[in-house]
Amino acid sequence: MYPDPARARPRRISSAVLSLLATLATVAALLLGVGAPQAAAASSLPCDVYAAAGTPCVAAHSLVRALYSSYSGSLYQVKRASDGATANIGLSASGGYADAAAQDSFCSGTTCIITEIYDQSSRHNDLTVEGAGGAGAADVGAPADALPVTVGGHQVYGLEISAGMGYRDNSTSGVAVDGQPEGMYMVTSGTHVNNRCCFDYGNAETNNTDTGNGHMDAINFGTECWFSPCYGQGPWVQADLENGLFQSDAGYSRNTSGIGTGPLPFVTALLKNNGQNHFALKYGNAQSGRLTTTYSGGEPTAGGYAPMHQEGAIVLGTGGDNSNGSIGSFFEGVMTSGIPTDAADDAIQADIVSVGYGGPTGSTGTLGAGSEISLRATTSCCTTEYVRHQNDVAAISSVTSGSSSLDKNDATWIVRRGLADSSCVSFESRNYPGDFLRHFDFRLHRQPMDGTSQFRADATFCPRTGKSGTGTSFASYNYPTRYLRHYDRNLCIASNGGSNAWDSSTSWSDDVSWAVSSPWAP
C-alpha cells in the first residue's frame, strides 16, 4: 500500500500581532500595486492570519494546499477502485502544496474517489462521505482526478461535486452552536454551478434533517434564486441559514445594480454571522482584486433567525438535510471561532490572490501532460481557425492576435493524461476548470467531468500521425476508427466514409489533421 504521510498538526504561531501586521503590509502592497506577496509566505497563510486576528480556525479543509504555514500532514484520502486500498495525500513540503504525484502514482491504471477531507486545525473536524438525510439518499465520493488545476505553480486537484456527492462531519469540536459567532470562506468556481439545492460549505444540523429556521449557517454558491428578485448574473454568494438562501435580511438582494459573480473561474466566497443580530456576505475574484461586500446587516426578519440556533455540524456540497442535487467546485475553505475583522478578510483575499489559482502550467505547445495548447485546423479553408468552445459546444472559429480575451481563452486547452487511458490525452478547458472536451452523439461539447467510465471514454483521444501527412490526428478512445474532425465548422468524431454527413471522405484527411500550437491564452 502507498505509505500514508503522518498527519502532523500545526503549532500556534508566536508573535501573533507582528504576524498580522506583516500580513496586512503585504495586503497594502498588493492593493496599491507595489508588489504581490509570495505564495505560501511564512506565517501568512489563512489560518495564521485568523489566529493572529483573534479568530482562530476551528476547521480548515483544502485539497490543494496547506492553510497553516506549519502544517505538514495529510490533506485528503483517496480510495482505489481496483482493490479498495486507500492512501492519504499529503504535501510536497511543509506549508506547501498537495503532492498530486502521489495520487497519480497510487491511482495509476485505475480510478480513485475522495473518501475523506482532513481538517488541518487541531480540532480534527474531518469530512467523510455524507450519509442519507431528510432530502437525499446517501452520497458517493467525488472522483479524485475530476478537477486538475494549477495552484501556486503546482499541478494539483480540486474537488468537483456532481449531484449525489457530498461530505459531512456531524460530531465536531469548536464549531459555533446556539447563536455563537463565526466566520467562514471557501474558494470555489463560477463555471461549475447549477440552480439545484444546495452547494454549501459551513455549519449544519447534526442529524442530516431540516430542524428549522436558523439551524444552519453556511455559505451557498449557485444559481438558485430562493427569494426573488435576484439581480445581476449568477451565481450568487448566499447564506444558507436553513429554509432559505439569503442575500439580505429580506431574503432577496437589496442591491439592484447586480451582485452576481458571473462565470469567474475562481471565486472567494465569504460569510460572517454574529449569531444574534448581524450577518455579512462578501465575494471576490480569487485571481485578482479585492473583496466586495454584498450585504452587511440584520439577521433575516422571519422568525427563528435572531438569535441563530446553529448545531455545529460541517457540510460540504449539499444542504443541511442532504439536499444533493447541486454541483460545484471546492478548493479550500475554513471556519473560525468568532467574527473575523474586515482587515483579516482582506488579508485572506490577498493571500488567495497571491497563490495564483489557475495560473500557467509552465509548459506550452506540446502534447505532454500539463501543457497548454491551441489546436489549429490545417485544411486550406481554415488555417486561421482553432478548436474553441462556445455555449458549451465545440467548434472551430478564427482567432487572431486581435481577438477578444474571451475568444482566446475559449480556444485554449490544457493537455491532461487521458481520463480513460494514460497513454492518450484529454483536453481540459483553460477558463472552465474541470470541464473537458468530450463527444456525445458524435458531436463535441465542453462538459464537467462526472467520473463515470462513459465520460472518461468519451473525453479521451489518442494522438496519431496526421492523416494528411502533417500535424496530429486524434482517434476517439472508444470509437477508434473515428477521429476528431471539423465539418462545416462544427466539431465531431468522424470516420472516413459513412452514413453521416460528417463522415464524408471529401477532405477527411485534412479535416482530421491538427497543428498543435502555442496557446492563445497561457
Which residues form the catalytic set?
Answer: 242, 321
What's the CA gap between 135 and 203, in Å, rounded? Answer: 17
CA distance 385 to 123: 54
Q: Give the whole-angstrom CA distance, residue 109 versus residue 111.
A: 7
Q: Count CB-CB contacts under 10 A for residue 173.
A: 14
C-alpha cell of 218? 453556511
22: three-class secondary structure by DSSP: helix
CA gap 100, 104 in Å, rounded: 6
Residue 200 to residue 222: CA distance in whole angstroms: 9
Query: What distance in Å separates the CA atoms of residue 281 and residue 296, rounded to the nearest whole number?
Result: 7
Q: How is residue 123 written as a grid cell?
A: 480540532
Do you know the residue count of the chain? Answer: 522
> One-letter amino acid identity for 458?
D
Separation CA 284–CA 264 (nearest Å)? 10
- State the cell numbers at 71: 502544517
Q: What span, in angstroms and rounded, lies between the C-alpha atoms of 488 and 415?
A: 25
CA 114 from chain center: how many Å? Answer: 14
CA 125 to chain centre: 21
Angle at the Cα of 338 from the Cα atoms of 41 and 56, rounded to 5 degrees:
30
Which secondary structure element, helix H or strand E, spans residue 259, and what is its range? none
- Kindly state the DSSP code that residue 351 receives in the 8-state scheme: H
Whether the bond between 229 and the residue before it is cis, its omega within 30 degrees of 0, is: yes
CA distance 483 to 494: 5
